[in-house]
Amino acid sequence: MRSSPLFLRHMAAAVFALLVGACEGPGLRKDNSGQTNQFSDWAPIEPAQLAGNLTEVLSGLPLKDAQRSLRNNGRVIHDRVTITDRGWATIERINTRDGYFGIQSFNTLGSRSEFEAWVKARFPRAKEVEILEVIPVTHPRTAVRGFAATMTGTNQQDQKFRCSVGYAGYGEARLSPTSTDIFRLEELKSILQIMLCTTRASASLLNERMQRVAF
């Protein structure tokens, strides 16, 4: 399957704009629970400043347009970056004791069916989207809740593309080698979303990258 760099650039830009467009600020926006949040303007930052060790997560990939926005006066840090011609990544991190995430995000992180619906919604202009594989996201040290997927799609010009997509929440250090999940909303401290489109994109390779997340 061949995916032209020009097509991937346009597709990634369109999906990235769709994902974060509603957060453009300053201004107010309601989340899925109905809570009103305030967002600051997006400000440029250096890739090394991205939260969650995101520079290492995306090591070897060309990055540009790293930016940061603050939610509710800095209670939550929201970073985003473009992977040139290949996709994007965003990460949100609770920055104060009274910061929080909504229950809808927590539920989506724990539901494979909701995750698959979320993946398909990232490609609103595609004629066809097929999810080939879904695996739980894992981490060697941190409690985590979420999934990664391998998917293929066809655009309006009948061009084929292949992507790996990840959506995972991270908590504190794992309590034991067998205790890996985040069981309560209060334990959720960060949310990472990644889309990476290449001819060899796979959920397992993306999961390996996501295991580098660190706080």
Query: Which of 14-18, 120-124, 176-180 has the weakest average pLDDT?
Result: 14-18
Query: Which of 19-23, 47-51, 121-125, 172-176 has the weakest average pLDDT?
Result: 19-23
Contacts of 3 (CB under 8 A, 6+ apart): 159, 160, 161, 162, 197, 198, 199
**Cα–Cα distance measured from residue 181 to residue 3, given in angstroms and rounded to the nearest whole number:** 35
Contacts of 91 (CB under 8 A, 6+ apart): 50, 51, 52, 54, 78, 79, 80, 190, 191, 192, 193
Q: How confident is the model at residue 208 (pLDDT cuts 50, 70, 90)?
A: very high
- Tell me the C-alpha to C-alpha distance, in Å, between residue 109 and each of 72, 135, 157, 175: 22, 12, 33, 20
**Mean pLDDT, the chain, as a whole number?**
87
Contacts of 133 (CB under 8 A, 6+ apart): 149, 150, 202, 203
Average pLDDT over every residue of 87-107: 92
Q: What's 175's DSSP letter?
A: S
Residue 8 backbone phi and psi in degrees, to 5: -60, -40
Alpha carbon 91 to chain centroid, angstroms: 6
Residues 22-37: pLDDT tens digits?
Answer: 444 446 665 554 567 7
Q: What is the pTM of this model?
A: 0.85
Strand partners for 30: 36
146, 136 contact by CB (below 8 A): yes
Average pLDDT over every residue of 94-118: 92
- Ranges of H-type helices in 54-210: 54-57, 103-109, 112-121, 203-210
Q: How many residues make up the chain in this entry?
A: 215
Model pLDDT, residue 175? 77
140, 170 contact by CB (below 8 A): no
**Cα–Cα distance measured from residue 5 to residue 10, given in angstroms and rounded to the nearest whole number:** 9
Residues 157-188: pLDDT tens digits?
Answer: 999 999 999 999 999 998 777 778 898 999 99
